[in-house]
Amino acid sequence: MGCTVIAGGFWGDEGKGKIVSYLALQDRVDVCVRTGSVNAAHTVLFKGRTFKLHMVPAAFVYERCRLLIGAGANIDVAQLQSELSETGVRNRLGVDRHASIIELRHSSQDKSNDHLKKLGTTGRGVGPAIEERVRRSAKLAKDLPELKPFLADTVDEVNAAIDDKKNVILEGTQGLMLSLYHGSYPFVTSRDTSASAICSEAGVGPSRVDSVLLVLKAFITRVGAGELPDEISREEAIDRGWFETAAGTGRERRSAPFNFELARKVARINGATEIAVTKLDILYGECAHANDYAKLPSEGQDFISNIEKATGVPVTIIGTGPDAMDIIDRRSASVLT
């Protein structure tokens, strides 16, 4: 496996948490670095429990994985403490000394700003906190006594793991179309969300990465304002089984069919070497809980083949249900169909 970057396509909500948790268990990942901030949650369903994580890496399900929060991340301390209690990983989490802090006042600023409200932000304070960091006046993890037990040089740790040929995941958040630079500006997040930015936030040079796994959902959803090509109505989304609410905020997600042209674009910008497609079972009910590609209905196989043709990238992992292990893993035969 080596060092793998997990990046999201489209507008987020693709199921990166499921993919990270599966890889952690299947490949016995040694180190996982979470990037990003608390405005995006990763959902993990494991052993009958559902975890909605804003800070703790989704690889926590593998009990031997060292969990790190990168230098480019923004930390809500109360949220982190809550997730540590929920997951029981306090003894194997490290926080980079230079990760910045989201304070309560940042959330207040976020919620009271008319411009940000029009953009449909989560109100978690991420934008104002990043703005303060850019001004070089933000508090860092090393400045807070309550984070002292977790402080680590995560850059040194993750690069040492790569040197030792260990399995490493760099866990990105949100999706490329929410990137400050490459997304549907101004209806975007406060940072870049590409695979390159994930590497930067984690402190890993691009030449040290072995693979970039782009996660795409079998249909598209987004929360907040901004464009969504071929958007369908709420009623139609409910009829199709596509209606969702955001894991972190509970906000309703808008829906649209899979966009092959957009998939090609996001695969190119991310430099994807592999693609994971999630929720194929929602599109084709016969796919539910399947673990064998050969047993998928022809419609499901054609859909996967069309993604590969559009992007030029092999679909190596297919999600067929909500559990971490509801997966078809095609990595041993990673050739275009």
d(CA 307, CA 281): 16
What does the block give as tokens for 86? 């929920």
Active-site residue set: 13, 42
What torsion, rounded to 10 degrees, do the Cα atoms 23, 4, 247, 56 define? 90
d(CA 68, CA 319): 25
d(CA 51, CA 70): 21
Contact 35, 173 (CB under 8 A): yes
The enclosing H or E element of 276 equals strand 274-278
* Beta-bridge partner residues of 166: none
What does the block give as tokens for 317? 């992992």
d(CA 139, CA 246): 29
